[in-house]
């Protein structure tokens, strides 16, 4: 992952900002939960759990959750939030998911994490192994259109590292992530044995309590792309 610095160095700041930010609260998490469906009694693997806000929502819907994050401080914060209601462990998505047995989960949730990986083939292969037949993978990534606009626009078809400036409260950070064409997203899912079930570009609810300028962005521009794929 290219972006370990900001999440390792500013874990507490990110935990505080992401808990209440409009894109997370009114856009990303509601869409992820809607696509994940009924979670009562389901075994859920969450990738990139950060400080555990989405983890807690998964637990509240009756899921038995194993949540993973690469940053030890994020895992510590998530454990504090969950208080033992979910298992939270340190894990690197660029390595085999040895914590998860074959066929050990029903649902995988990956909220805004896969775009930090250059090569999806290893992790998608691992997720295919971890999921039961008929299991569900739900994920969100920064929208390919947005990624293209942040690139030098020299070659749409390549997967490449891009940068974006984010405001985390009073702190300004530069995030680096990979943008890839749509064909790479869906082609790698297919190559790993997944069938795409839903592709979603949601809009916030009309009564979302967000700044009007932010609401217009979320309502009219390509921000995140959401996918539900079946094993």
Q: Is the pLDDT of residue 49 over 90?
A: yes
Q: Is the pLDDT of residue 58 over 70?
A: yes
Q: DSSP for the chain?
A: -TTHHHHHHTHHHHHHHHHH-HHIIIIIHHHHHHHH---TT-EEEEES-TTSHHHHHHHHTT-EEEEEES-HHHHHHHHHHHTTSSEEEE--TTS--TTS-TT-EEEEEEES-GGG-S--HHHHHHHHHHEEEEEEEEEEEE-HHHHHHHS--S-TTS-EEEEEEEEETTEEEEEEEEE--HHHHHHHHHHTT-EEEEEE-----TT--S-HHHHHHHHHS--EEEEEEE-
Cα 203 → chain centroid: 17
pTM: 0.94
- Predicted local distance difference test score (pLDDT) of residue 87: 98
- In the predicted model, what is the mean pLDDT of residues 44-61? 98
- Predicted local distance difference test score (pLDDT) of residue 4: 56
Residue closest to 52 by CA, chosen among 30, 26, 31, 29: 29
- In the predicted model, what is the mean pLDDT of residues 170-175? 85
- In the predicted model, what is the mean pLDDT of residues 115-124? 97
CATH architecture observed for domain 4-230: 3-Layer(aba) Sandwich (3.40)
- In the predicted model, what is the mean pLDDT of residues 164-180? 88
Q: Is the pLDDT of residue 1 over 50?
A: no
- In the predicted model, what is the mean pLDDT of residues 194-217? 94
- Phi and psi torsions of 44, nearest 5°: -115, 130
Output the average pLDDT for the chain. 95
**Angle between helix 53-60 and helix 72-82 axes, rounded to 10 deg:** 40
- Predicted local distance difference test score (pLDDT) of residue 223: 95
């Amino acid at each position: 992952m290219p972006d370990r610095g900001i999440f390792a160095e500013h874990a507490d700041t990110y935990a505080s900002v992401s808990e209440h930010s409009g894109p997370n609260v009114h856009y990303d998490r509601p869409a992820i939960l809607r696509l994940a469906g009924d979670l009562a009694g389901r075994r859920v693997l969450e990738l990139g759990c950060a400080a555990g806000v989405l983890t807690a929502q998964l637990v509240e819907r009756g899921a038995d959750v194993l949540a993973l994050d690469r940053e030890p401080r994020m895992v510590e914060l998530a454990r504090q939030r969950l208080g033992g209601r979910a298992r939270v462990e340190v894990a690197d998505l660029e390595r085999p998911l040895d914590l998860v047995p074959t066929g050990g989960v029903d649902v995988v949730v990956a909220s805004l994490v896969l775009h930090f990986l250059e090569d999806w083939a290893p992790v998608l292969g691992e997720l295919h192994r971890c999921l039961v037949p008929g299991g569900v993978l739900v994920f969100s990534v920064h929208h390919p259109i947005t990624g293209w606009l942040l690139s030098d626009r020299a070659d749409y078809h390549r997967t490449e590292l891009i940068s974006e400036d984010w405001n985390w409260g009073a702190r300004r950070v530069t995030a680096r992530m990979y943008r890839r064409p749509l064909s790479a997203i869906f082609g790698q899912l297919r190559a790993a044995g997944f069938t795409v079930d839903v592709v979603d570009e949601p809009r916030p609810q009309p009564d979302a309590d967000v700044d009007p300028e932010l609401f217009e962005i979320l309502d009219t521009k390509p921000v995140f792309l959401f996918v539900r794929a079946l094993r």
